Every structure is written in C-alpha cells, then in structure tokens.
Structure 1
Amino acid sequence: MLFMIVVAAGSLVSGVAWAADGEAVFQSTCKNCHATGVMGAPKFGSQADWGSRIAQGMAVLYQHALNGFTGKKGMMPARGGRGSLSDEEVKAAVDYMVNAAK
C-alpha cells in the first residue's frame, strides 16, 4: 500500500515538473512569436487562435512543432527555430500552450 502511494506521489511530482519545463521552454523560445502572433502564430492563451489547431489533435500539433509547418495562416519553424530542444521539451511547450488556451 505504501509503495502505491509513493509511486502515485512521484507521478504527481513529475507531472508538475513537466508543466514547469513547458513554461520554461515557452518563456525562453516560444513567446518570441506566440506572445504577439508573429508570422500567424496562435497567440498564447487565445481560444480563438488555438481552437481549430487543437481540434486537429495533439499528434498533429506535436508534428508541426517538431518538424515545422507552412500553412495558409502562417508558418512554424521546426522546434521554434531552436534545434537544440529535445522532443520532450518541444512537446512540453506545446502542452503548456494548449492548456493555456482551453
């Protein structure tokens, strides 16, 4: 029983760390475009900007953020133009921005 509680508590702590990492990546990289909507970037926290993108599913959002994307509304450079970001960091930043727009 105690083992299950420790494992559950560890999972909660990792989830919080994941969210914090997403915010840190957003602050250091993503906000350069997503704070103001440069190049058609959906603005941070805007349901109107993010709604249709969220409807495509997280797999599509991750793919666009990781590999880059050019569409009718603008473009997304791969990894936000910061090639040193890991897949996990990029996905955490996407999660952070999506959650802020819900």
Structure 2
Amino acid sequence: MKKTVLFAAMAAVSVSVSAQADSVAGPDLAAGKKTYDTACFACHATGAANAPKVGDKAAWKDRIAQGDTVLNNNAIKGFQGKKGFMPAKGGRADLTDQAVADAVAYMVSQSK
C-alpha cells in the first residue's frame, strides 16, 4: 500500500513539473535581458537576499546543474533556499511565466 501511494505521489509531481516545462516556449534572450533589467536587476546584480549575482559562475554552477525546468519553476513559483529566498516571479505578479523563463535563460547565459 505504501509503495502504491509513494508511486502515485511521485507520478503527480512528475506530471506537474512536466506541465510547467511545456507551458514555456524556448527562451528569448533579448526579451530576457529586458525583463532582467526591469525586474531582476535589483537583487541579481547586488546579491540582495543572497540572490546569485549574474556572472558569478561559482554561485550559479550548482543551480545551472539542476536544469532549466527546476530553475524556471523556482523563479516562477518561488523558492526557499538554505541562505535566502526567491519570491514568486521576483515579487512581480504582473510578469508572465514566459517573461520569467526568458530572464532566467538570460541570467544563465551570462553566468556559465
């Protein structure tokens, strides 16, 4: 019984993560830079709330290794880390999921 419940829970998580990944098109780095400049810069240029600074390869390495789906989900839905937090959409509820994913792609491209 426990194995069945665990399997069902794992399947539900897998489907929900896949659904988010399917809702975001390929990244537009130019649009991502615009979103970064207007919404993400305040924290990701300064390290506020322990946000990884764009261009800091060491700070981004483990995050990038988690993959785009995890990064996008954390940025879109919010994330509580060991040292800081990422509010959902950076506190900008007006941003679309695509705009956030584009900004994430831009920051990753500058931090590899």
TM-score, with structure 1 as normaliser: 0.82
Aligned residue in 2 for 1:54: 64
Q: Counterparts in 2 of 1:29-48, with a 5 A limit?
A: 29-48=39-58
- Which of the residues 78, 82, 87 maps onto 1:72? 82
Q: Select the structure that is richer in helix.
A: 1
Aligned sequence identity (%): 51
Structure 1 residue 61, shift from structure 2 partner: 0.3
C-alpha RMSD of matched pairs (Å): 1.4
Question: Following superposition, which runs of at least 4 residues in structure 1 exceed 4 angstroms of deviation?
Answer: none
How many angstroms apart in 2 are the aligned matches of 1:88 and 1:100? 18
Pairing 1:24–2:23 present:
no
Count how many residue pairs are aligned between Structure 1 and Structure 2. Answer: 87
Structure 1 residue 28, shift from structure 2 partner: 0.1
- Which of the residues 65, 88, 102 maps onto 1:92? 102
What do the CA deviations read for 1:16-65 (whole angstroms, capped 9, x no partner)? x9211100000001011000111110001110110010111111100000
TM-score, with structure 2 as normaliser: 0.74
